[in-house]
Amino acid sequence: MATLLFILNQRAQIQQERRQARLARINSQLRELYGPLNALVEVNERLWEAMRESFLPGQAERRPGSGTPEWRRWRELALMPANLRMRDLIIEHADLVIDPTVPQELRDFCAHVASLEVALAAQQEGRSERALIKHPGAPYVSHVHDRFVSLKNEQHRLLKLVGHSTPPATPRLDPGAGTASPPQG
């Protein structure tokens, strides 16, 4: 009887250690890659929607070297810095990608940003070039969001299994004040 209890205890301990290791990996994926990536995607999507509703020029006028000063300002001060940060997150933390290889949506996005950098550099030199690779659009946005949600769900499931309480809710950004506000329950 004592041997059986020992074996069952060892097995339970091994399962608990595996869960904790999996939880540590997921926490790292969320903290270092998918959390910031998802937040940046959501911010860019919100900005893009607002620009489409108010002043976004036609596609031909959004090419480097053309467009209104307002469009260039938004591209250079808001959209492009976020794109660069997303690209850097993907490259720096490719080891944290859920998939066995870096997914096509992420590779396409990184290639788009690189080609846009070249086109913007040409603009600085007085030449007009277009980005060779288009933004992957909705497939990229969906991919990032779906992976983020999947990891959050797995994190919550594992937290229950390892006996931790659910992590506190993430503060929401109050758009009016520009500061984080506690979640509204």
Running DSSP on this structure, what letter comes out for residue 129?
Answer: -
Q: Which residues pair with 174 in a beta bridge?
A: 179
Residue 86 pLDDT:
98
E strand or H helix at 109: helix 104-124
Tokens of residue 94, six digits: 């490719």
Q: Which pLDDT band, with edges at 50, 70 and 90, does 180 fall under? A: very low
Task: Give the C-alpha separation, 92 to 1, whole Å.
Answer: 52
For 114-171, what is each residue's pLDDT tens digit? 999 999 998 888 888 888 999 999 999 999 999 999 999 999 999 998 876 555 454 4
Q: Which residues pair with 180 in a beta bridge?
A: 173
Q: Which pLDDT band, with edges at 50, 70 and 90, does 177 fall under? A: very low
Task: Give the C-alpha separation, 76 to 89, whole Å.
Answer: 19
Task: Give the C-alpha separation, 178 to 115, whole Å.
Answer: 32
Task: Give the C-alpha separation, 5 to 131, whole Å.
Answer: 65
For 24-68, what is each residue's pLDDT tens digit? 999 999 999 999 999 999 999 999 999 888 877 777 677 666 677
Q: What is the pTM of this model?
A: 0.78
